Structure 1
């Protein structure tokens, strides 16, 4: 579910300088086609040449079927297991950490948690991302994943009689047998992921930090634990492609990591009259009627009526309620059940707020770990100012160059940097900020030291922008404050997916239940961080575009809009239609379905792949939104 989607947001095609006759400016850029070069064009990293020319010259064209006839019918490289985990059995790891016990899918411990497979190379001329960076996040950008290596271990490519799910049986599959030779055919017929997660944790319980105790015990470093929360709802349809992704998430985050993560489904019961809290049988029946069997024992129910009891009214008026709905409704307060869930589970250090229309084409553990490690290394100095911009490596150069540029631009503009809690504004009261968020020195005295080594309280996937400088439709949806005073300073990040620290979610909860403060879901966690001096970052994950943008124009459009209506977080959001990650992206879903071998807009499908260069193989990337996954194979 994409909060703030639907009919309230729309694309306003006003006549302003972003637009040319016949379409928006960016629609005149050359289309990038290297995404669709298949596994028959794989080359080692040393031979790879991206197609991006940043609109300076015509980019290389898609390899035609005639040219493909000269290629080998099989992928020129063999898939290899992708393993982003620490070497748990090494002397170096065992010296500092407790032993990691192997985890299994079944209770008899005959089926170990499977590996996934990628190709050690890239399709020739595949595009590179326009903003974000594998290198900065220290992720592997020299490997690509096809649909068999990525999801074959989770039931893709074999039918129900073998314990699979069916799709993939009749798609182009040259060389896919090399994956199944290594993974085998896993029968998921009676899979119980909740049981498997609990068994894995029990085997490894000594690895993890007790939140009430020191992180080091018996001379060994304890690991912090994560709750990965998938917000779903009654009536949601789980297709086969969705289930592949969910299995991948649970296996890669929880079982393969020895219990570092637990994946949870937080199921919104839309019918408030169902007595889920009064009757255990009704509770279980509701789960069984709305969740696939394999996820029954990892599901928690909630309802809006319950939230009204947990955070009782009155809340006061909002400065503006453009949604026209109540404060306890999921549309305006999707964070309420996450706050509640965190209070019920103090054993977790971090809470990932995830949406059902997200997909990750890559390895979940590599991605999540890279984000956390990167965020932990970030200094506090300039952190808010960097987080409001898109990092475009082709334009900005290294991250250090980007950091210096942001600092210089802000000084030249005379902007006062954010340094510690932003709580000096007319308001109706706030809870005290954590004392450790007070800066140890002045901004100018700090040499990018404060915050280095500190876990991030908030990690988001789009920039943390100031809503007051945009015409974002929900910028004034702040509730519980004195509306006769100016609206408090705010920050927001489009799409509610994020990682919250326990410290952040506890402050959010305290502000809500003690003072009845809340804001629109995409605005509330960042604003709490702003007000209380918590550490918030926008992680520069790689984002691709369907066209070959000029990067100086991209920087102008995304980082330096001249008017509030030009912001990409308002009327300028049309600029993100061709991206791989944004709430309104059209390219993201189309690329995902093409990767799965489906026809999209008259292109792709089995015959196209067989006569061309084979099935697609893409680098790791985060997709949003995926509104459907059913397309014709031919």
Structure 2
């Protein structure tokens, strides 16, 4: 699998693995060795210079283009003067014919031979010039990045005909044949004709009917897709195993987060319950049915196809919450369950493709309805046309909503605009350090968080707000992912959490999480760094007061990794939280409102704005903005505000895959320990993410997702290859970003 990469070089200095076609001269300058052309070549080149075809313009692909009409100076191969349209003058007045002069036979033969030779020279010269032009205009091949020399890994693409129980699974990074034969006495299984395991329903929810659950919580009342409560919310299906030799992730850990790592998801079990693989006439999405689907009938024997065309998602979510409202209040000696707003950031003109529709339906079913209302899924829709005063008229608001959102999502959408934010957070925002983008302060590019801050003030009923982008896909179960990550972060101690969150966790290198924790603390001490322990002190004209809960109960040394355990995290992200001042990340100084007579305040950043933010954090961000005019670039403002106020913030080490087999020690050095600021992967070194499954500039993420859907990608994959091979892909839970399109090339 290949994908386009940026046209910049990544050649390490003095690296012997990179061939160099140039010879080194005595003066140290690298020059190509001179080659003297032969006499024949020199003569041919001279004749070629006489070729009038060289005056014709050449297209991008090297083909000669037809000249425009004579009356255009730009169309003339001779430039000025303008050539006029005319015919040869007739030998006799009134005649339009042209006659040849009388010639002897010998002259005719000589002229013919001369014409043939001249034509040959012209054609030869034209061809040579054409070849030379092709060579001169061919895009220069860029030097490969160092990581592009690592061998490709392809276990991702093993399909359902190679499924084995997890106890027999060996990851691709290990020598499969050697491991199986020496350690297990087995060999790589042969490709079967059918999926070797049967799909089963997947249920990551607590046992809501169990004694243990009801002892602490109010009961959960079942939710439905219709008002009459006849249309049950569907299950999704997994295969209870993995394709043999499936690739392992390099970053993160399923086990550490409590996410199932022994099951995999194919496209029909994952998306089929939401309309994938069903005909439009049946209420489905009309996609996926023409892909390889051997054995998918077993899924349809357990799941019914649902017509979603009449489902009002806003209404069914509201009904589900109202039925279960008692769960979210502390009464009768029962614990209150905390609620989350799951905010999908979309915009005017966004295309709700069939794949996108299936994804949103999955989110609502799995996060909201199946959980008994623990989440509400919202669409926060930016109206890009600032000339539409959506706040001034209900009729105008509703018309704009109907014009930009599919009907089934109308009741769960909220509109906003940059013009609205200008009124909500009015200028000026003084003392900006550097605005690298050149965009105004209220542009969504620089302050997309303004809308989320406003939304949290309009909807104060939630404890947490998930800021989610529309170009993210998740192959696993949404409730399992979000619930487990929230619980994992809740159990993390405060001691060392900012330092651990600044690094990628690589279990195959770092060992257990306890080992990783100890290693990070040792490195912090050895590097002479002051660990984060409560709100930092820095010179400034003032900030709002930090919460009392941010004050450490004891010193950093005396704490035994106990402070913060059982405390919900205020900020959870999916890439490390780094100090931008130690990188050359381009937006590191786009911070406003802090008095410039003092040094630039300390700050933190996390690439990609996908995150969970607590109501506490969003309230602090809102107050800092409206009261003190403090703000920063969207990927820097939430973590910076959390840092300034001593809140609990964590990078969740979710599994991240790479398309090449990196040496682990080298990977650790590149991603976790850059020697110089400009080598940081959060800056000039970001090309190292291009082969990963999660980053803003990843190319592999989209390729992997489309292959999982059964599409061909760069002439690899697709229906024919899946049928001839091991069947459709079956991936473990994987967060993928960015996904810019989902359909492969038409055949």
Structure 2 length as normaliser, TM-score? 0.80
SS in 2 for 1:264: strand
State the Cα distance separating 1:633 from its structure 2 match.
6.7
2:283 corresponds, among 152, 163, 187, to: 163
Q: How many residues align?
A: 612
1:468 aligns with 2:587: no
**1:441 aligns with one of 545, 550, 554:** 554
**Is residue 251 from structure 1 mapped to residue 370 from structure 2 by the alignment?**
no
Q: Which has the higher contact order (CA 8 A, sep 6+)?
A: 1
Q: Tell me, yes or no, if structure 1 residue 13 matches structure 2 residue 9.
A: yes
Cα distance in 2 between the residues matched to 1:94 and 1:606: 48
Alignment CA distance shift 1:57-1:335 (3 Å): farther
- Report the Cα offset of residue 317 of structure 1: 3.2
Tell which deviates more after alignment, 553-562 or 67-76. 67-76
Once residues 311 and 179 of structure 2 are traced to their aligned partners in structure 1, the CA distance between those partners, rounded to angstroms, is 47
Gaps in structure 1 of 5+ consecutive residues: 1-8, 61-66, 210-215
Distance 1:461 1:11 in 2: 27
Maintained 8 Å contact 1:68/1:613: no
Counterpart of 2:156 in structure 1 is 35
Select between 566-575 and 182-191 the one with higher mean Cα deviation. Answer: 182-191
Q: CA deviation at 1:165?
A: 0.5
1:297 aligned onto 2:411: yes
Task: Report the counterpart of residue 678 of structure 2 in structure 1.
Answer: 565
Give the structure 1 partner of residue 592 of structure 2.
479
Aligned residue for 2:265? Answer: 145
Determine the structure 1 residue equivalent to 2:491: 377
Q: CA deviation at 1:427?
A: 1.2
In 2, Cα distance between the equivalents of 1:538 and 1:502?
18
Shift of 1:13: 2.8
Contact 1:307–1:328 (CA<8 Å) still a contact in 2?
A: yes
Which runs of structure 2 are paired with 1:273-422 in the superposition (5 Å)? 273-422=387-536
SS in 1 for 2:653: coil
Cα offset, 1:410, TM superposition: 1.0
Which residue number corresponds to residue 214 of structure 2? 94
SS in 2 for 1:541: coil
- Show the counterpart of 2:718: 605
The aligned runs of 1:207-226 (5 Å cut-off) are: 207-209=327-329, 216-226=330-340
Change (3 A) 1:86 1:243: same
RMSD: 1.9
Q: Which runs of 5+ in 2 are unaligned?
A: 19-142, 181-186
Q: Which residue of structure 2 lines up, in the alignment, with residue 103 of structure 1?
A: 223
CA offsets per residue over residues 49-101 of structure 1, 9 Å max, x none? 111149x99999xxxxxx99953321111111110000111122112111101
Instruction: Report the equivalent of 2:146.
Output: 25
CA contact (8 A) 2:11 2:144 kept: no
Q: Judge conservation of contact 2:570–2:613 (CA < 8 Å) in 1.
A: yes
Alignment CA distance shift 1:15-1:617 (3 Å): closer
The answer to whether the aligner puts 1:83 opposite 2:203 as a matched pair is: yes
Which secondary structure does the structure 2 equivalent of 1:546 belong to?
A: coil
- Bigger shift: residues 20-29 or 229-238: 20-29
> Which of structures 1 and 2 has the bigger CA Rg?
2
2:606–2:636 Cα contact (<8 Å) kept: yes
Q: Is the 8 A contact 2:9 2:144 kept in 1?
A: no
Structure 1 CA distance, aligned partners of 2:385 and 2:512? 51
Q: Deviations over 1:550-584 (max 9, x none)?
A: 11001000000001111000010111100000000
Between stretches 406-415 and 336-345, larger displacement belongs to 406-415
Indicate whether 1:268 and 2:268 are aligned: no
Are 1:74 and 2:194 matched, yes or no?
Answer: yes
Q: Secondary structure at the residue paired with 2:608?
A: coil
Q: Does 1:234 align with 2:354?
A: no
Secondary structure in structure 2 of the residue aligned to 1:592: helix
Residue 654 of structure 2: aligned partner: 541
- Counterpart of 1:626? 739
Indicate the residue corresponding to 1:525 in structure 2: 638
Q: Secondary structure, in 3 states, of the residue corresponding to 1:301?
A: strand
219 and 590 in structure 1: CA distance in 2 versus 1, 3 angstrom threshold = same
Find the aligned partners of 1:171 and 1:191 in 2 and give their Cα distance: 27
How far is 1:585 from its partner? 0.3
- Using structure 1 for the length normalisation, give the TM-score: 0.94
